[in-house]
Amino acid sequence: MSKLAILCVDDETIILNSLRRQLKQAFSDQYVYESAESADEAFEIIEELEEEGSDVIVIVSDWLMPGMKGDEFLAKVHCDHPRVVKILLTGQADEEAISRAHAEANLHQYLAKPWKSDELVDCIRSGLQSIAPQN
pLDDT in tens, 83-95: 999 999 998 878 8
HSE (CB half, 13 Å, CA atoms) of 101?
28
**Upstream peptide bond of 133 is cis (omega within 30 degrees of 0):** no
The count of other CB atoms within 10 Å of the CB of residue 70 is 30
pLDDT tens-digit map of 12-53: 999 999 999 999 999 999 999 999 999 999 999 999 999 999
Q: Output the pTM of the full model.
A: 0.95
